[in-house]
Structure 1
């Protein structure tokens, strides 16, 4: 797969569909930059980006259709905000995450808060009432199963600590294929829990002893102090990792509305969530994976379309210190010696091999070294490219740069081998669709890629060299 300037004419519609936000502001002078609050962490997806300041305050920008940026006082609930918007948290944050439709903040006092789309809030609820209503709606032909359904729902509620989605999934499992075929679609919808209400106001997630929070595209995963994981949100692609994704063709998996245990994940030190899969680093340097594996992105067998929704070891990876799950679909791991491994799809030149995929859809389940990358501290993988942060704070990038998102002065085509980028003294990077944000050691924020605050939908407006941004409202 490759991009060319002609294909960039399609980007306005793509960007509107993905609801990419806007750049914060125009380039600022050095004195103004020095006055900006110091930033210590970025968290972003294709839809919404958050920044954590050293004083524990959080600001966000981008999409706001689910209340990701808090209550909107303007008429009509403006769907995008180009300038930073303060998030009203009940305390100082020490770490943040963005799930696209949701924001998350882990406070200094240990409490975890979420806001935005209801499915991603993790607040759960009782399963029994919904199951009883679903049974009633199925009609007389299914009432004979009501006692068994309720018993299973109660068992699911105890096992998953009130996980409404899992209980509803068990209800669906009682129905034979014949009964499903004879049941109206309106009745089948009763198998799924009703949509949870969105919240523009941060609400507390009922978890204690959270060490780190991760989120991406509808899934949130909390790393606990004891090294285990709790996950919630969309079960599509099996990323929740509790073994309860529906694997029957044509049927949707109900969400996990409350945090559930990720089966078999222990001794975890870091997590990375991709569009269709998850990687988790263990304290022994081995890596677990789960989710879809159609292109070998899990680095384990079997390679298949249906989700592998419980963790298992990636084959051939050891001595890892950081992992990154990408969107197209690809996986990477930084090793203790600073080398970098990659596996999965090569369609966006993520392998950094110096060769073009040319749309062949090549992939490899076996981890291989990325040539030319040494002394890497960590790697960040987006759907178009990858950027490695080296131990000296410099950057190496490769992949697609059609909109200048690698910041090397180039706005078209691919960079097939890891290449030194212009920025130095970098401590954190967020790679999004067609855009890249970076934090330098001095706390300043830099940007490269598509769009500006007036014309963010245009593929012809982009910054192919890094520019400084201010988080002043």
Structure 2
């Protein structure tokens, strides 16, 4: 073997030793990609489509095969999920193949499986394919298909399913008003996407520039979020809101710089039976949540907020009487606490702390964003390894030329 071949062989071996361990590490460890929440439960989705849920589970709305509350994150019996939406009583998942699955409360046809029974494991919504987005209404669900049409199922006593009737598929009780299978929302074509978390409920945005509130079948001229009527003025890239009553309406928003802001009813306020909160009732204008940065997603439940950070951890604060924080205990948390470290490489949820969390800095009025050390983005290690390998190759090549 010539001297040149030996050098080339050593070069390739060094590159493989540096790169391969990093590649296998990155490939074998999935990360949390998004979070969503309903009335008193929440879900986290992995970038490989696995799902974890926690909170109230009386109707089986966690989807873990049980009907008992879950105070800490547990695996949901479904995979290949790209989106989840929930209204607290039932939960809905969109899979990568364009099908929709549901679990939880079923008495009013909320699950869309053709029946009226509660389900604690995911069941497929009937006759629904080629779906690209889903959004839960207060008592039903909407699906947007690739062809721009909208389909709905669930409670229809006020015509929420948009089929031109107030009828259901059942014969007794509330089933008389529930559409147990999807029906097409009439007069609504060319829909591009759904807007959720606003005061107008689920809104369909059409390709002609018009917007329609699906639960009331009325045209919407402006999207509002409580006192915030122009989100772009604040630089918000995502807003989640719960607006059942004016007294309890609250909102959580994410900015492009990774900071989190809240307004409306203060979720960390002291309760009648839980004195662990603060004597604070409302935030009139967007207020930054101190102690949270590098956030990539937010979600809101009823008087509970969540934030997903770049490192894959989930933080929560607010009401917790149903275990909706996922922290393992049931006290109001006025400041963000760690509730989910994310899945382990084997896919098992990492246990969350059950001891009293360390208080974070108090929430203050808007101020300049403090400088902080950025967290390396996913893939940073792989890029560094590739650059190192390139540098070694270049160095050895120069040495070979010098030695000639």
Residue 202 (structure 1) aligned with residue 122 (structure 2): yes
**C-alpha RMSD of the superposition:** 3.1
Residue 255 (structure 1) aligned with residue 178 (structure 2): yes
**For the residues of structure 2 that align with 1:94 and 1:468, how far apart are their CA atoms?**
24
Cα deviation digits, residues 104-140 of structure 1 (max 9, x gap): 222222222222222222122xxxxxxxxxxxxxxxx
SS at match of 1:428: strand
**For the residues of structure 1 that align with 2:144 and 2:261, how far apart are their CA atoms?**
29
**For the residues of structure 2 that align with 1:225 and 1:454, how far apart are their CA atoms?**
40
Q: CA deviation at 1:220?
A: 0.9
Residue 388 (structure 1) aligned with residue 253 (structure 2): yes
**For the residues of structure 2 that align with 1:71 and 1:440, how far apart are their CA atoms?**
25
Q: CA deviation at 1:64?
A: 1.8
Residue 442 (structure 1) aligned with residue 311 (structure 2): yes
| 140, 145, 148: which one aligns with 1:219 | 140
List aligned pairs for 1:43-192, cutoff 5 A: 43-70=36-63, 72=65, 77-78=67-68, 80-89=69-78, 91-118=79-106, 119-124=109-114
The equivalent of 2:363 in structure 1 is: none
Q: 1:411 to 1:223 in 2, by over 3 A?
A: farther
Q: 1:466 to 1:277 in 2, by over 3 A?
A: closer
Q: CA deviation at 1:443?
A: 2.3
The equivalent of 1:375 in structure 2 is: 235
List aligned pairs for 1:278-297, cutoff 5 A: 278-291=202-215
| 339, 347, 372: which one aligns with 1:469 | 339
The equivalent of 2:293 in structure 1 is: 424
Report if the CA contact (8 A) 1:209-1:225 is conserved.
yes
**For the residues of structure 1 that align with 2:29 and 2:306, how far apart are their CA atoms?**
16
Q: CA deviation at 1:374?
A: 2.6
Q: CA deviation at 1:411?
A: 4.9
List aligned pairs for 1:287-366, cutoff 5 A: 287-291=211-215, 308=216, 310=217, 312-315=218-221, 317=222, 332=224, 342=225, 350-352=226-228
Q: CA deviation at 1:468?
A: 2.0
Cα deviation digits, residues 348-391 of structure 1 (max 9, x gap): xx215xxxxxxxxxxxxxxx547x94322222112331223222
**For the residues of structure 1 that align with 2:35 and 2:154, how far apart are their CA atoms?**
22
Residue 233 (structure 1) aligned with residue 154 (structure 2): yes
Report if the CA contact (8 A) 1:404-1:434 is conserved.
no
The equivalent of 1:19 in structure 2 is: none
Report if the CA contact (8 A) 1:41-1:96 is conserved.
no
SS at match of 1:447: strand
**Count of matched residue pairs:** 289
Q: CA deviation at 1:48?
A: 2.5
Report if the CA contact (8 A) 2:267-2:305 is conserved.
no
Q: CA deviation at 1:425?
A: 2.5
TM-score (norm 2): 0.63
Cα deviation digits, residues 73-111 of structure 1 (max 9, x gap): 6xxx43x1112221222x421222223222222222222
Cα deviation digits, residues 320-370 of structure 1 (max 9, x gap): xxxxxxxxxxx52xxxxxxxxx5xxxxxxx215xxxxxxxxxxxxxxx547
Report if the CA contact (8 A) 1:100-1:218 is conserved.
no
Cα deviation digits, residues 217-263 of structure 1 (max 9, x gap): 331111111121111111244432233137xxxx9771111111112
Report if the CA contact (8 A) 1:102-1:116 is conserved.
yes
TM-score (norm 1): 0.55
Q: Which has the larger radius of gyration?
A: 2
SS at match of 2:177: coil
**For the residues of structure 1 that align with 2:100 and 2:267, how far apart are their CA atoms?**
38
Q: CA deviation at 1:447?
A: 0.9
Q: 1:123 to 1:72 in 2, by over 3 A?
A: closer
**For the residues of structure 1 that align with 2:39 and 2:311, how far apart are their CA atoms?**
26
**For the residues of structure 2 that align with 1:40 and 1:71, how far apart are their CA atoms?**
20
**For the residues of structure 1 that align with 2:92 and 2:239, how far apart are their CA atoms?**
22
**For the residues of structure 1 that align with 2:54 and 2:80, how far apart are their CA atoms?**
19
Report if the CA contact (8 A) 1:239-1:278 is conserved.
no
